[in-house]
Structure 1
Amino acid sequence: MPDTRPGPILVINPNSNTHVTDGLVDALAPFATPHGPEIECLTLAEGPFGIQSQIDSDSVILPLTRLVQSRPDASAHVIACYSDPGLDACRSISPVPVFGIQDAGVLTAMARADLFGVIAVAEPSIARHRRTMARMGVLGRLVGEIPLNMSVDETARGAGTFDRLVETGGALRDRGAGAILLGCAGMARHRKPLEEALGVVVIDPVQAATAMALGTVLAANI
């Protein structure tokens, strides 16, 4: 019999660090279903090794749109970078839904708690994140955003990353955050142990965006 499943959900890591993509594969493995769409994690080879500055974020927009256009088989796209680079551009040329992990992560955090906090990779990221949250109209529910001041690569596989996450997440919890949002796709593998350590909800935005994409695709094919 022919395969009647929807086309794959493409989860695109816009940086060129394959260790980050490997973390996405692990974080999304439980989302695979026998009759649902395949979840395919891709690395944008043209991207910088880590997206930390506005220039890094802007530099991936055109390569992202080219990748999206090259995959007409996809049923949805997820841009797996917390700055949501190229989100508007990709939506403008894609015939299928495109999800940004910051948008999805923030909405999921607010669905789980009244107030939320964000753990950023580094200080320069925060201004970009706040612009997106201002556009969303949600700054009133943000208790704060605290940077780890580490590289994207360190968050994915650094030896001291988890201890910094506990320290930073604890500070946000103490400010009243009922949900902690991981502000980088490279932090995905830390979600569950961090939630156990902090005693509050911890949201991995890649999982949040993929869950939205999966629900959207399945609902469209009922």
Structure 2
Amino acid sequence: MTGPIVVINPNSNQVVTDGLSGALSAFTLQGGPKIECLTLNEGPFGIESQRDSDSVILPLATLVQSRPDAAAFVIACYSDPGLDTCRSVVPQPVFGIQESGVLTAMARADRFGIIALADGSIPRHRRYMARMQVLDRLAGEIALNMSVDDSARGEGTYARLVEAGTTLKAHGAGVVILGCAGMARHRRPLEAELGIPVIDPVQAAVTMALGALLAG
């Protein structure tokens, strides 16, 4: 099998990209595609608003077009910025982590909850889920109200994730989605703490990419 799965962090924070590499370290299969994590250097330090999300669409399209060697792409931002545009300019499959995370969550439980980065992210997420026609499966969404950088390495992040996840579970969520790529390193301990599945949407998207490629 030729060509890597290229996972693109659309913000310019290398710490987030390093966290993606760590979260995906177990996904490299013998004889399977390599997984390459890249930072979009033109992106903002954190994608925390609609303007931030929109600002990376054209740079993302340029980047995917520059990688004809790739077998598939994953856009590792929960807003799925540029997903439609990138799909329109390259023949390879392109996966967004919000779409992949929600689809994976619905395969694990009847209702899902989301831990968002900030209150301002929630309307953006709901518009996307309305397009997917899945809002009736949403148990709730809770924002941590912190920056992307804090979610990746802030000392108090995990405790706030536990609090938010516990509340979502009480509201009927049978599975919780981490609504920011920067939260990846907390997935495993949070799942053990909550006692229900916790979805890292980057892992979900890479799993879908692997499935598409292995199926030929």
Q: Which amino acid aligns with 2:42?
A: E
Say if 1:79 and 1:100, in contact at 8 Å, map to a contact too. yes
- 2:20 aligns with 24
The CA deviation string for residues 109-128 of structure 1, in whole angstroms up to 9 with x for no partner, is: 00000000000000000111
Give secondary structure in 2 for the equivalent of 1:35. coil
Runs of at least 5 residues in structure 1 that lack an aligned partner in the other structure:
none
Structure 1 stretches (4+) deviating beyond 6 angstroms? none
Aligned residue-pair number: 216
Q: How far apart, CA to CA, are the structure 1 residues paired with 2:214 and 2:139? A: 34
Deviation at 1:6, TM superposition (A): 2.1
Deviation at 1:94, TM superposition (A): 1.0
Q: Which amino acid aligns with 1:111?
A: A
- 2:116 aligns with 120
Q: How does 1:1-222 map to 2 (within 5 A)?
A: 5-220=1-216
Q: How far apart, CA to CA, are the structure 1 residues paired with 2:72 and 2:2? A: 10
Q: How far apart, CA to CA, are the structure 1 residues paired with 2:126 and 2:6? A: 26
The normalised TM-score by structure 2 is 0.99
Q: How far apart, CA to CA, are the structure 2 residues paired with 1:129 and 1:38? A: 30
Q: How far apart, CA to CA, are the structure 2 residues paired with 1:215 and 1:39? A: 13
Percent identity of equivalent pairs: 71
The CA deviation string for residues 176-215 of structure 1, in whole angstroms up to 9 with x for no partner, is: 1000000000000000000011111100000000000011
The normalised TM-score by structure 1 is 0.97
Q: Which amino acid aligns with 2:171?
A: R
Deviation at 1:145, TM superposition (A): 0.6
The CA deviation string for residues 52-84 of structure 1, in whole angstroms up to 9 with x for no partner, is: 100000000000000000000000000000000
Runs of at least 5 residues in structure 2 that lack an aligned partner in the other structure:
none
Say if 1:6 and 1:217, in contact at 8 Å, map to a contact too. no
The CA deviation string for residues 158-190 of structure 1, in whole angstroms up to 9 with x for no partner, is: 000000000001000000100000000000000
